Amino acid sequence: MSQPSSTFLYGANVHANGIRQHYLRYGGADGARAERDALILIPGITSPAVTWGFVAERLGQRYDTYVLDVRGRGLSSADPGLDYSLDAQAADVLALAQALGLQRYALMGHSMGGRIAVRAARSQPAGLTRLVIVDPPVSGPGRRPYPAKLAWYVDSIRQATHGMDAEAMRAFCPTWTEEQRRLRAQWLHTCHEPAIVRSFEDFGRDDIHADLPRVRVPQLLMTAENGGVVGDEDVAEWQGLAPDTLHRRVPAAGHMIPWDNEAGFHEALGDFLEPRG
């Protein structure tokens, strides 16, 4: 059986919100994809765009898909004095959509990227149609902390900066495949440590729950069965603050959902991003 051809088109940079923003594009807007909204995918705290390529390949079969290198990661700007706050990251996403000339688009954010998507959506930007929020940290002022530890990120980044291979990455990602560990080992050094520290600390400082009542587009909250990031009580609170939220929990998956259960990730997404009549 022949394998489907790649949907990857190219990587590119734009100057938007005062910085260089790098993205990878999959699928384009030809054929049926032109009738659907574009999709901007925002990865998590230490996930450069390239590490989501296997997910974007499949999304690109249906949608004009742009995977962003969040500032301080991958090939986007990572200057020492750059603002790495959640507000700045959210403004980046909206500026990227404008720079790309997207008239209608959805946002999909994983973990930190989900928090960025919510913060971007609270301003009710023109053209935004839907949100897909994947296992977001629900920490914040007065809330339980995010279950991961900062040292896990910092130690792995410092080793990657020094130079590490897939086997060395096993200590940090023991359940991942060799291919997954190799790619993370290759790209993790591009995660600027001050950016990661600021984002992690902001998990406990920024209150995205206060943003939810101001979000005016339908949301899909996709959560992992394992990992303890989003519990049932968190889902209930989220849906109480944003009643248009659909929830789907992915079985046999931890926080990095598509790494653990790629088929379950796409099944949970289903037709949520399809045009409605």
Write the pLDDT tens digit of every residue in 183-237: 999 999 999 999 999 999 999 999 999 999 999 999 999 999 999 999 999 999 9
Structural domain contains residue 195? no
Q: What is the pLDDT of residues 118-131, one digit of tens each?
A: 999 999 999 999 99
Q: What is the CATH number of the domain that holds 124?
A: 3.40.50.1820
Structural domain contains residue 138? yes
Structural domain contains residue 140? yes
Site of tokens 């520290």: 197
Nearest to 226 by CA among 203, 247, 242, 249: 249
| DSSP summary character for residue 251 | T
Site of tokens 């949520």: 272
Q: What is the pLDDT of residues 236-245, one digit of tens each?
A: 999 999 999 9
The yes-or-no verdict on residue 132 having pLDDT over 70 is: yes
Structural domain contains residue 225? yes
10 Å Cβ neighbour count for 88? 18
Please give the residue range of the domain that contains residue 77: 8-150+206-269
Complete DSSP assignment for 163-193? ---HHHHTTT-TTS-HHHHHHHHHHGGGS-H
CA distance 145 to 141: 9
Nearest to 262 by CA among 44, 113, 53, 11: 53
The yes-or-no verdict on residue 175 having pLDDT over 50 is: yes
Structural domain contains residue 100? yes
Structural domain contains residue 167? no
What is the sign, positive or negative, of the torsion defined by CA atoms of 42, 44, 50, 54? negative
Torsional class of 227: left (φ above 0), alpha (ψ -120 to 50), beta (otherwise): left
Structural domain contains residue 231? yes
Q: What is the pLDDT of residue 111?
A: 98
In sequence order, which residues have a C-beta less than 8 Å from that of residue 20 and are 6 or more positions away?
A: 13, 14, 75, 76, 77
For residue 76, what is the enclosing H or E element?
none
- Supply the mean pLDDT for the chain: 96
Q: What is the pLDDT of residue 4?
A: 65
The yes-or-no verdict on residue 3 having pLDDT over 60 is: no
The yes-or-no verdict on residue 1 having pLDDT over 50 is: no
Query: Average pLDDT of 139-161?
Result: 97
End-to-end Cα separation, the chain, in angstroms: 36
Q: What is the pLDDT of residues 37-64, one digit of tens each?
A: 999 999 999 999 999 999 999 999 999 9
Q: What angle do CA 153, 158, 80 make, to 5 degrees?
A: 90
Q: What is the pLDDT of residues 85-99, one digit of tens each?
A: 999 999 999 999 999
Strand arrangement, sheet containing 8-16: 8-16, 19-26, 65-68, 38-42, 105-110, 128-134, 219-224, 245-250
CA distance 269 to 250: 10
Specify burial of residue 208 (Cβ count, 10 A radius: 0-12, 13-18, 19+): buried
Question: pTM of whole model > 0.95?
Answer: yes
Q: What is the pLDDT of residue 156?
A: 98
Query: Average pLDDT of 248-260?
Result: 97
Q: How many domains does the chain have?
A: 1
Confidence of residue 5 (pLDDT cuts 50, 70, 90): confident
In sequence order, which residues have a C-beta less than 8 Å from that of residue 173 and are 6 or more positions away?
A: 180, 181, 184
Q: What is the pLDDT of residue 54?
A: 97
Structural domain contains residue 242? yes
